[in-house]
Amino acid sequence: MSEISTGKLWGIGLGPGDPELVTVKAARLIAEADVVAFHSARHGRSISRGIAAPYLREGQIEEHLVYPVTTETTDHPGGYQGAIDEFYEQAAARLATHLAAGRTVALLAAGDPLFYSSYMHMHRRLADRFEAEIVPGITSVSAASAALGTPLVEGEQVLTVLPGTMPVDQLTERLRNTDAAAIMKLGRTYPGVRQALSDSGRLADAYYVERASSTRERVLAAADVDDADVPYFAITLVPGPKPTTPIRAHSAAERVDGHVSAGESGRAAHTAGAGAAEASRPTIDAEPHEAAESTGLPGEVVVVGLGPGDTAWTTPQVTAALAEATDLVGYTTYINRVPEQPGQRRHASDNKVESERAAMALDLAKRGARVAVVSSGDPGVFAMAAAVLEVSAEPQFKDVPVRVLPGLTAANAVASRVGAPLGHDYAMISLSDRLKPWDVVVQRLSAVAAADMAIAIYNPASSQRRWQVGAMRDVLLAHRPPETPVVLGRDVGGPTESVRVITLGALDPDEVDMRTLLIIGASTTTAFDTAEGTRVFTARRYGTGE
């Protein structure tokens, strides 16, 4: 074993979902850690981070470990296992960097870190080099038993924990030969699980518990479950003892203060302390605002544009919509621009999960929340309005109202800093080829350049996309002279604003990043120097005039 470094890895068990079921020790260590790490699928919503949100503090480094693949196919040369193994190695390397620097790392795990958890893969790769300690958590099996309200085993009975991913015949055999069982990893495996329960003669005695301890908890007879509605975070229980009290199927909407009530409805509220703490930080995965659901008011989604950066550019209409929302959904950078309000829930994610973010917002609204989906600039210009409307066309969201509130565009903000380079006809083109082929980008650039229109270029470059700006320049130079004015506006309205006027021939791709917007002039665009700096305009008159 090599020498132990000063950094320490903590495997933090968070329990099954309710933030109040996080242990005192786990809460303390989360708050004290230099780095908080957590996993999620590519949609970006981390259940473990959502549970831990009340215990996080400002200034902590967050390491979001995103699985490259979950249940879908992959083109990785090593197949599914190759992609996962490579991900674990890369994730371990990221954590090792912090540990080697002497930082404490709290790696979050829903349930218990060593019970069907991702933590064990990091432990295997890091515990021989760094000090590692595990804080156990309440398992989903215990939480499901509590939701069911009956013991799983008693006396000499044997409990068998089974993954639902087992072949049906093997699952059937094990169910036949045990006193009690807990079947994990359901989701798309549920039809096979139901078949195994039926074939083993245990279906009539089996119960289904979904998202135990959370505000979306459901308890049903296993035979009554719709296969299409089963999430991964569900469990099937076959108790050993015969229940001594009736077990009535229920959902979280029938739970009040943690108890099932036959005559009342409403969600079990979080404690005031946890609610205040959650409101103080953005969360990635959380439930709709409880107050919205208890009022019975219909939910809705409002897609808003904050403008490019300066709060003065956010319209009063958008400000009012943000204040009325029970939930905010959006890219983390944009969510952080919105002033925090007590009780308002914030669902932040990275910038590459537009469809998943839209579905989350619509699902929250479907269950009664008033959701504001936050975009920078105008939500209808390379932003979230199109994504939300596209997903809202799906049958399950057809009754969810969607409104779009406009915002000042980045193109207009940059243009205003130098005058009126967009004073005549112009086009807006995104240089990103993530959602459309580069050939299409080239066709559009060529067509607009040939039509002699000014062009506002969005998403010109990123840390991974570096060659597109040079390729764009070469395409445009086939139609425009090198002296064509070009405006480079970076972080306009923000604290690091920079606006420069150069020429197309002098455009250096290394000076352009994702926060830069380019305006390429037309033949009628003129740049001239004044005491206030370079001014640019595109004449309204073309040729003989209008």
pTM of the predicted model as reported, rounded to 2 decimal places: 0.49
Quickly count helices (H) and strands (E) in the chain.
Answer: 16, 26
For residues 460 and 476, give the distance between their C-alpha atoms in angstroms, rounded to a whole number. Answer: 14
For residues 100 and 35, give the distance between their C-alpha atoms in angstroms, rounded to a whole number. Answer: 13
For residues 92 and 85, give the distance between their C-alpha atoms in angstroms, rounded to a whole number. Answer: 11
Taking the alpha carbons at both ends of the chain, their separation in whole angstroms is 81
Domain 8-138, CATH:
3.40.1010.10
- Element holding 319 (H helix, E strand): helix 316-324
Q: Strand order of the sheet with strand 525-530?
A: 419-420, 533-538, 525-530
Phi, psi of 377 (to 5 degrees): 60, -135
Phi, psi of 170 (to 5 degrees): -70, -40
> What is the CATH architecture assignment of 279-408?
3-Layer(aba) Sandwich (3.40)
Query: Can you give the pLDDT at residue 267?
Result: 26
DSSP 2: P
Domain with CATH 3.40.1010.10 in the chain: 8-138, 279-408
For residues 277 and 88, give the distance between their C-alpha atoms in angstroms, rounded to a whole number. Answer: 31
CATH homologous superfamily for the domain 411-538 = Tetrapyrrole methylase, C-terminal domain (3.30.950.10)
For residues 255 and 379, give the distance between their C-alpha atoms in angstroms, rounded to a whole number. Answer: 38
For residues 281 and 58, give the distance between their C-alpha atoms in angstroms, rounded to a whole number. Answer: 8
Domain with CATH 3.30.950.10 in the chain: 141-247, 411-538
Sequence-separated (6 or more) residues with CB below 8 Å from residue 267? 215, 252, 253, 255, 287, 290, 293, 294
- Element holding 388 (H helix, E strand): helix 384-392
For residues 394 and 377, give the distance between their C-alpha atoms in angstroms, rounded to a whole number. Answer: 26
Cβ(382)–Cβ(372) under 8 Å?
Answer: no
CB neighbours (10 Å) of residue 232?
A: 15
Instruction: Provide the CB-side half-sphere exposure for 70 (13 A, CA).
Output: 14
Instruction: Provide the CB-side half-sphere exposure for 230 (13 A, CA).
Output: 25
DSSP 399: T
Query: Can you give the pLDDT at residue 37?
Result: 95
Sequence-separated (6 or more) residues with CB below 8 Å from residue 101? 7
Token look-up 């020429």 returns 503
DSSP string across 422-476: TSS-EEEEE---SSS-HHHHHHHHHHHHHTT-EEEEES---SS--SHHHHHHHHH
Query: Can you give the pLDDT at residue 259?
Result: 36
Helix, coil or strand: residue 331: strand
Query: Can you give the pLDDT at residue 213?
Result: 87
Query: Can you give the pLDDT at residue 120?
Result: 92
Q: Strand order of the sheet with strand 8-13?
A: 61-66, 35-40, 105-109, 8-13, 131-135
Query: Can you give the pLDDT at residue 240?
Result: 92
Cβ(145)–Cβ(247) under 8 Å?
Answer: no
Q: Which of 288, 290, 283 is nearest to 361 (CA)?
A: 288
Cβ(76)–Cβ(84) under 8 Å?
Answer: no
Burial class of residue 536, CB neighbours in 10 A (0-12, 13-18, 19+): buried
Sequence-separated (6 or more) residues with CB below 8 Å from residue 53? 19, 277, 278, 281, 283, 286
- Bridge partners (DSSP) of residue 161 are 182
For residues 8 and 30, give the distance between their C-alpha atoms in angstroms, rounded to a whole number. Answer: 13
Q: Which residues of 450-488 are buried (b: 16+ CB within 10 A; e: fewer)?
A: eeebbbbbbbbbeeebeebbeebbebbeebbeeebbbbb
For residues 277 and 219, give the distance between their C-alpha atoms in angstroms, rounded to a whole number. Answer: 29
- In words, the CATH class of domain 141-247 is alpha beta
DSSP string across 467-529: SHHHHHHHHHHTTS-TT-EEEEEESTTSTT-EEEEEEGGG--GGG--TTEEEEE--TTEEEEE
Taking the chain (546 residues) in consecutive chunks of 10 residues, what is each chunk's mean pLDDT? 68 93 96 93 80 90 82 59 84 92 94 91 92 95 91 93 93 95 91 93 92 85 85 90 64 40 28 32 33 50 93 93 92 88 82 80 89 95 93 88 95 96 96 87 95 95 83 95 96 91 94 92 96 93 62
